[in-house]
Amino acid sequence: MKRSLLKFFTFKGSIQQIGLLVLCSILLSFSTYAQTVSIAIGRTEIGQNENFEITLTVKNGRLTKYSEFPDIAGFKKGRPSTSSQTSIINGQVSTQQSVVQMYAPTQQGTFKLAPFTMSVNGKSVNSNGATIKVGAPVQRQVYDPFADFWGGGSSRNQQNQQFIDVEADAFFSVSTDKNSVYRGEGFKMDISFYVAVTNRAEMDFYKLDEQVTEILKKVKPKNCWEENFNIESVHSEYVTVNGKSYRQYKIYEAMFYPLNTEDIVIEPTELQMIKYQVAQRQSFFGRNSKETVEVFKSRGRTVKVKPLPDSQFKSIASVGNYRLKQKLSDTEIQTGESVTLEFKVEGVGNISSIREPDLVESEDLLFYPPSVSQNIKRANGKVVGSKEFVYYIEPQEPGEYNLKDFISLTIFNTRTKKYETLYPEGTVVVKGKSLRDAKISKTDLGSFYDAMKNADNTLLSMDNTPMIQIILNIFVLIALIITGVLLFKKF
């Protein structure tokens, strides 16, 4: 027994030595091949249910970094797949790594793939592009040349392969964060597909952009102001629904602000997903899955829209959870100088709909029309921002002025459900002489009438202005000619 164990460890040591020698020879053989990079274009005549392929290949080197594959009009870009291969021929080792980008056609026709350049491992690789023809869908038949060897049957076994449908633990939803809102109050709508963490069915999106366009035609309310969150790429995030963990794929999100008191009716809609059935008998070279289309339906819902509470401010109040920030450039000035008031309203709500503050006009304190700017941020399911009104104030009379007596903005606070009035705080102390009296003296017309008394009122003869007389004679002559022509035509 001990002798056999000894032989075993001796044999194992020999294997390690041989393996080390083989590894060294493999490493040395890499230097005999130079790294090459190529881009291959797949079949350019395909059916609508087939994929067009672009393959990026690196031989005798590692594929560490590459730029994005080009977009093709009329095609939807799928997920790239990777593969690697190592060959030893006559002691020489060669390696190959490939990335295959699939493109699914969205319609039939002829499409142009323009020449393009990709960056691979820091180097540029060019392709001449191609012209792709997409025809009618073709009947797919999978032939397994090794079916007899691996599966113990003929090629008919592959054609008669049975596929098992795996139930999807997922659902499609068009949801809102509120069931009722006031007129002008925002509610969030999102369109999402939820997949349970325990789901075993393999699925993928199917013509998502086209489907979202049709879905929005049914669910987007028309009597609302929209603030779109502009989802550019669909990714998953973990959420909990009724105590169960899901991956949420959010495909649309926006805030809506009702412009009137009509209820928001969201109709039921559908989302088609690609689901893969699993082969009952797995084959190493054969077809182990089959594409099917499964329809997921969302529930309809209604968002009640309530009128604002009765008040004298009901028709003019800006709706939202706002607060006021102000800035006054100076508090003590002279008549003839100006002061700047920054009246900034910020918070959560429909920033675009915030109206201009009410202004009490006064000859003692002149307010010029404000310059208006706004900043809107859409993030974390909320629309926040600010709207700023900058006033230039020019006092005409000395005195002390409370700003709240001149400017105000009424809002309906969606948090407290009450009307509030935003006033600027602070006073402006004005010193100096009155400018109103100075303006009156400038507009006094007494000196004008005095000048009229001293003016010469002697009549002038037309003989002293021969040019005027000539011009008048020409006008009289033209009038006589026109009259004569009209009378001649009449008779």
DSSP summary character for residue 357: P
* 335 DSSP assignment: T
> Phi and psi of 78, rounded to 5°?
-95, -165
- pLDDT value of residue 348: 95
Return d(Cα 406, Cα 13) in angstroms, integer. Answer: 96
pLDDT, position 26: 41
Distance from C-alpha of 255 to C-alpha of 230, rounded to nearest angstrom: 11
Q: State phi, psi for 267 to the nearest 5 degrees.
A: -80, 155
Tokens of residue 294, six digits: 């499964």
Give pLDDT, residue 475: 77
Say if CB 282 and CB 304 are below 8 A apart.
no
Q: Which of 273, 142, 248 is nearest to 191 (CA)?
A: 248
- Tell me which residue of 211, 213, 208, 190 sits closest to 266, measured CA to CA: 190
Q: Which helix (H) or strand (E) holds 479?
A: helix 466-490
Helix (H, G, I), strand (E, B) or coil at 23: helix
Dig out the tokens for 140 from the structure.
Answer: 């797919």
Residue with tokens 């067009």: 52
Q: Are 185 and 306 in contact (CB under 8 A)?
A: no
d(CA 357, CA 389) in angstroms, rounded, equals 8
pLDDT computed for residue 6 by the predictor: 36
Q: Would you state the pLDDT for residue 438?
A: 61
Separation CA 408–CA 357 (nearest Å) = 5
Tokens 């102001």 -> residue: 225
Looking at residue 443, its pLDDT comes to: 47
Residues (pLDDT < 50) of the chain are: 1-32, 88, 141-158, 441-445, 448, 462
SS3 342: strand
pLDDT in tens, 420-478: 999 999 899 999 888 876 655 444 445 545 555 555 555 555 455 567 677 777 878 88
pLDDT at 439: 57
- Position 451 scores a pLDDT of 53
- Whether the CB-CB separation of 231 and 250 falls below 8 Å is answered with yes
pTM above 0.75, yes or no: no
Q: Which residue has the tokens 């009724």?
A: 242
pLDDT at res. 85: 63
How far apart are the C-alpha atoms of 267 and 185, rounded to whole Å?
21
Paired tokens of 178 = 């509120």
Give φ, ψ of 179 to 5 degrees. -95, -20
Return d(Cα 191, Cα 228) in angstroms, integer. Answer: 12
